């Protein structure tokens, strides 16, 4: 298991770095540059034109590494792993359609929010349907911190749908500062790697190794100052990947703890919009919350470091709460 983990991680990292080096000039040559909204932080304007859709690079690298490993180690336990990776790819494809639509229309909006969520909901439903068909979906869920298992029955499907679509979109919202989404997701993937070895879960070890490789390989070009952005293609793929890890672990709700930064990013947007609609006042200087800290004077590197450390801290808490 250790060998498979290390080889998958190193190969994905190396391939991601190599593909991105080739992909970045190609994206530049076709004008696939990021559009910056006027409502965003004014200092982000100098990022306009930075190539986006860089997520294609680590999606390709992950697939190239995943398929041979799947063929080499195919067994009965491989099907849930295939479903998890396929779920990530489908979300990446949704992100690609969104990014490509923005490029074709020459505007900052691709798919509408409704279209995107409907497609994500369909992807999540198909994933859960596949797990159910394999007998791998548990309607009894363990609550984080309490260690209590509660039978939710049919309501477990609603909870799972909300978890999947909510987390995928939360990872997407986290991708607003150079290196933030990839750094936080690196820590999340590393947590699931440690959990995989503690649980003796080979499928989780492989998927988390690929996740680490994607994030670190991409950070070579995405850390401040970023030479490429992952786009919705990359952020939705990573969102699907961490959700796949959560379900492979057997305790999907633990993602609510280890993925605390994702939740805070989403919650800040929900609170900001809700408060403004009710009172015409804003809670934060800007949402998602990483932009609030930017407006408070934090530089991008500080935000990435602090948010990653928070993720690490909650990963430690999750580990000792869950595995001990």
Burial class of 63 by CB neighbour count within 10 A (0 to 12, 13 to 18, 19+):
middle
Give the per-residue pLDDT at 185: 99
Q: Check residue 298 and report its DSSP letter.
A: -
Q: Which of 245, 232, 201 is nearest to 83 (CA)?
A: 245
Confidence of residue 198 (pLDDT cuts 50, 70, 90): very high
49 has pLDDT over 90:
no
137 has pLDDT over 60:
yes
**Dihedral of the alpha carbons of 53, 58, 61, 63, in degrees to the nearest 10:** -90
Specify the higher pLDDT residue, 149 or 65: 65
261-283 pLDDT, tens digit each: 999 999 999 999 999 999 989 99
Confidence of residue 183 (pLDDT cuts 50, 70, 90): very high
Give the per-residue pLDDT at 41: 63
- Helices then strands, counting H and E runs in the chain, come out as 12, 2
Give the per-residue pLDDT at 110: 84
User: Phi and psi dihedrals of 164, rounded to 5?
Assistant: -65, -55
Where in 31-83 does DSSP place strands (E)?
none
| Three-state DSSP state, 150 | strand
Give the per-residue pLDDT at 45: 62
Q: Check residue 33 and report its DSSP letter.
A: B
Specify the higher pLDDT residue, 64 or 102: 64
Confidence of residue 39 (pLDDT cuts 50, 70, 90): low
How many angstroms separate the most distant Cα atoms in the chain? 59
Q: Which two tokens stand for residue 184?
A: 């936080």
Mean pLDDT of 149-167: 96
Confidence of residue 73 (pLDDT cuts 50, 70, 90): confident
Q: How many CB atoms lie within 10 A of CB 155?
A: 12
204 has pLDDT over 80:
yes
Do the Cβ atoms of 272 and 285 come closer than 8 Å?
A: no
35 has pLDDT over 70:
no
Do the Cβ atoms of 37 and 237 come closer than 8 Å?
A: no
Burial class of 71 by CB neighbour count within 10 A (0 to 12, 13 to 18, 19+):
exposed
Q: Which of 58, 48, 66 is nearest to 23 (CA)?
A: 58
Give the per-residue pLDDT at 322: 86
| Three-state DSSP state, 144 | coil
Specify the higher pLDDT residue, 318 or 41: 318
324 has pLDDT over 90:
no
Residue 140 neighbours by CB under 8 Å, 6+ apart: 149, 150, 151, 152, 156
Burial class of 319 by CB neighbour count within 10 A (0 to 12, 13 to 18, 19+):
middle
Mean pLDDT of 70-98: 93
Do the Cβ atoms of 103 and 32 come closer than 8 Å?
A: yes
Give the per-residue pLDDT at 48: 79
Give the per-residue pLDDT at 196: 97
Give the per-residue pLDDT at 38: 55
CA distances from 104 to 29, 98, 151 (A): 15, 10, 47
Confidence of residue 212 (pLDDT cuts 50, 70, 90): very high
Dist CA 164 CA 170 (whole Å): 10
């Amino acid at each position: 298991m250790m060998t498979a983990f290390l080889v998958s991680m190193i190969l994905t990292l190396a391939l991601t770095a190599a593909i991105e080096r080739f992909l970045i000039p190609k994206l530049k040559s076709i004008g696939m540059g990021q559009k910056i909204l006027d409502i965003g932080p004014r200092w982000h304007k100098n990022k306009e034109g930075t190539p986006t859709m860089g997520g294609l690079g680590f999606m390709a690298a992950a697939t190239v590494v995943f398929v041979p490993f799947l063929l080499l180690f195919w067994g009965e336990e491989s099907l849930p792993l295939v479903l998890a990776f396929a779920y990530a790819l489908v979300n990446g494809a949704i992100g690609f359609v969104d990014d490509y639509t923005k490029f074709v229309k020459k505007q900052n909006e691709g798919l509408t929010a409704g279209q995107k969520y409907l497609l994500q909901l369909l992807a999540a439903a198909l994933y859960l349907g596949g797990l159910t068909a394999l007998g791998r979906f548990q309607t009894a869920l363990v609550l984080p911190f309490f260690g209590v298992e509660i039978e939710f029955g049919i309501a477990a499907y609603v909870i799972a749908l909300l978890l999947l679509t909510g987390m995928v979109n939360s990872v997407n919202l986290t991708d607003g500062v150079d290196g933030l989404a990839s750094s936080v997701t690196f820590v999340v993937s590393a947590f699931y790697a440690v959990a995989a070895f503690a649980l003796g879960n080979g499928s989780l070890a492989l998927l988390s190794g690929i996740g680490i490789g994607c994030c670190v390989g991409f950070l070579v070009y995405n850390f401040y100052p970023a030479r490429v952005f992952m786009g919705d293609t990359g952020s939705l793929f990573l969102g699907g990947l961490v959700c796949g890890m959560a379900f492979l672990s057997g305790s999907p709700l633990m993602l609510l703890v280890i993925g605390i930064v994702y939740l805070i990013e989403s919650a800040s947007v929900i609170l900001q919009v809700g408060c403004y609609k009710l009172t015409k006042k804003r809670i934060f200087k800007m949402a998602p919350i990483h932009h609030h800290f930017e407006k408070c004077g934090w530089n991008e590197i500080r935000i990435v470091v602090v948010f990653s450390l928070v993720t690490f801290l909650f990963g430690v808490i999750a580990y000792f709460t869950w595995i001990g």
